[in-house]
Amino acid sequence: MAKTPNEAQPFADAEPVAANGLLHRRLFLSGGAFFAGASALSGVLGARPASAQMATVPDWRKEPGKSFTPYGVPSRFEEPVQRLVTVRAPSYPSPGAGSSRTPLHLLEGIITPSGLHFERSHSGVPDIDPDRHRLLIHGLVRQPLVFDLESLMRYPRVSAIHFIECAGNSGGGWAAQPPVGFVATMHGLLSCSEWTGVPLHYLLEEAGIDPKAKWILAEGIDAAAMSRSVPLDKCLGDAMVALFQNGERIRPEQGYPMRLLLPGWEGNMNVKWLHRIKVTEGPTHTKDETSKYTELMPDGKSMQFTFPMEVKSVITRPSEGINMQGPGFYEISGFAWSGNGKIKRVDVSADGGASWAEAALQEPIASRALTRFRLPWQWDGREVILQSRATDETGAVQPTRAELIGSKGIKNAYHYNGITTWEVRASGLVKNVWA
């Protein structure tokens, strides 16, 4: 029953399932329609007339290409695909305390290339010699132990795809005015990798856990010796000492030679350059779990130890700076994720939340991993308000910004998971707005 796509306007005759041209998610699957649509799409979007140049054989067809290289890098034409780094004056005294952001708007699928994984450090990236690195486990244990890398490499390993999201990601959402810039400006402290390492419980059990123990302190050996307290039950569950990221050893910016991986929990807790674990009775109340990464509520109280990152989604195409190229067919696409499990569904609205169409979820849909969603859209060229709303397998639904602020106020600074709203203007410009 595949429809014959109109060449210039694929799906022009498809029935919308929600206002302003949102189409059924399964249209993508209906036979050849999608591919026909995709090729017609280049006709609409590319808008480059066939020129005389296209009718000549390009140079690279006429001579052999470059020979083999030991480590490949992206095409030189992809140079703009870079992390967003804040430019500081050379005199700025603490350039290593801060972050760089993943260019979410320029990526596809769910895996973040390792060199584009967001960075957050409190005193720069250390240059660690793996032969001199040790992991110390002590405190409330039967036998304090020290592990070198060579011995850790001999344990059984696990691999899993997980996002890491800074607890301060999307923090611009708490501000009175919406941040201006690419989607990464507000949401780019978010990345997703395949992590491989040793389950932490093997090492803790080897040291022998005292029955009084309820927490650990995990510490890095960077110049900030960044440290966080983690409940023991997480450490005995899915926590791992990660050694590999996307098949190769973890990048220096991500904790080389090892980091703690706590699937779904605040990025800051996934302690990089991990060198010490102290098993304790209670939390240590470090700077980064008191002064920072605590949620100040409207009543003046602060919620401490709010570990999982809540259900959330954002449309990356279109998004601010990824503008429209005239009326016609588009694929709306973005990321959804939850620190509490798998994404169950994502709904998209093109009328500011009055009507919703369910988006298609791209496999794989993994627990505590980014999930890619897609929805076909026939844009008629008029101003629309685009939103996405994620629901996870626990039934938690991403709140609107108004709902979030209604319960948490505006001074929270962390864990912002409100719905993102893109205003698509008739001119094709896309702007971040508060709905």
Partner 1 sequence: MFGRKVLLGGMTATALVAASTALAVDPPKLGQPAPEMLIRLFDISIPPDGTGLPPGQATAKQGEAVFIARCAACHGEKGEGATNDRLASGVGTLQDEIQTFKTVGSYWPYATTLFDYVRRAMPYNAPLSLTDEEVYAATAYVLFLNRIIGETDVINAQSLPAVKMPNRDAFINAYAPR
Q: Give the CA-trace dihedral at 227, 230, 235, 237, to 10 degrees.
A: -140
Q: Does 158 bind partner 1 (CB under 8 A)?
A: yes
Which of positions 89-128 make contact with ligand HEC (CB under 6 A)?
A: 93-94, 97, 122
Q: Does 285 bind partner 1 (CB under 8 A)?
A: yes
Rounded to an integer, what distance in angstroms lies between the CA atom of residue 302 and that of residue 296?
A: 4
Q: Could you tell me which stretch among 184-192, 231-239, 372-380, 386-394 binds partner 1 (CB under 8 A)?
A: 231-239
Rounded to an integer, what distance in angstroms lies between the CA atom of residue 256 and that of residue 70?
A: 21
Smallest distance from the beta carbon of 38 to partner 1, in angstroms?
Answer: 34
Q: 176 and 312 in contact (C-beta within 8 Å)?
A: no
Per-residue interface string for the shown chain with partner 1, residues 14-43, x marking contact by CB under 8 A: ------------------------------
Neighbouring C-alpha atoms within 13 Å toward the C-beta of 259: 27
Picking from 264, 86, 14, the residue whose alpha carbon sits closest to that of residue 162 is 264
Among 20, 313, 367, 420, binds partner 1 (CB under 8 A): 367
Among 6, 185, 227, 355, binds partner 1 (CB under 8 A): 227
Which of positions 224-243 make contact with ligand HEC (CB under 6 A)?
A: 224
Which of positions 319-338 make contact with partner 1 (CB under 8 A)?
A: none
Q: What is the maximum span of the chain, computed from C-alpha positions, in angstroms?
A: 78
Smallest distance from the beta carbon of 292 to ligand HEC, in angstroms?
Answer: 6
Query: What SS3 state is found at 150?
Result: helix
Can you say whether the dihedral through the CA atoms of 166, 196, 374, 105 is positive or negative? positive
**Residue 167 site contact among partner 1, ligand HEC, none (CB < 5 to 8 Å, cut-off depends on kind):** none
Q: 21 and 377 in contact (C-beta within 8 Å)?
A: yes
Q: Does 302 bind ligand HEC (CB under 6 A)?
A: no
Among 26, 142, 287, 411, binds ligand HEC (CB under 6 A): 287
Please, which residue, 2 or 146, has the CB nearer to partner 1? 146
DSSP code of 411? -
Q: Does 272 bind ligand HEC (CB under 6 A)?
A: no
Residue 399, preceding bond cis, omega within 30 degrees?
no
**Residue 290 site contact among ligand HEC, partner 1, none (CB < 5 to 8 Å, cut-off depends on kind):** partner 1
Please, which residue, 227 or 325, has the CB nearer to ligand HEC? 227
Number of other residues whose CB lies within 10 A of the CB of residue 166: 23
The type of residue at 248 is: E
Please, which residue, 81 or 305, has the CB nearer to partner 1? 305
Q: Does 154 bind partner 1 (CB under 8 A)?
A: yes
**Residue 300 site contact among partner 1, ligand HEC, none (CB < 5 to 8 Å, cut-off depends on kind):** partner 1
Tokens 């098949």 correspond to what residue? 247
Rounded to an integer, what distance in angstroms lies between the CA atom of residue 219 and that of residue 97?
A: 17
Rounded to an integer, what distance in angstroms lies between the CA atom of residue 195 and that of residue 159?
A: 6
Per-residue interface string for the shown chain with partner 1, residues 236-255, x marking contact by CB under 8 A: xxx-x---------------
Query: What SS3 state is found at 25?
Result: helix
Q: Does 291 bind ligand HEC (CB under 6 A)?
A: yes
Given the rule CB under 6 A, which residues bind ligand HEC?
A: 93-94, 97, 122, 224, 287, 291-292
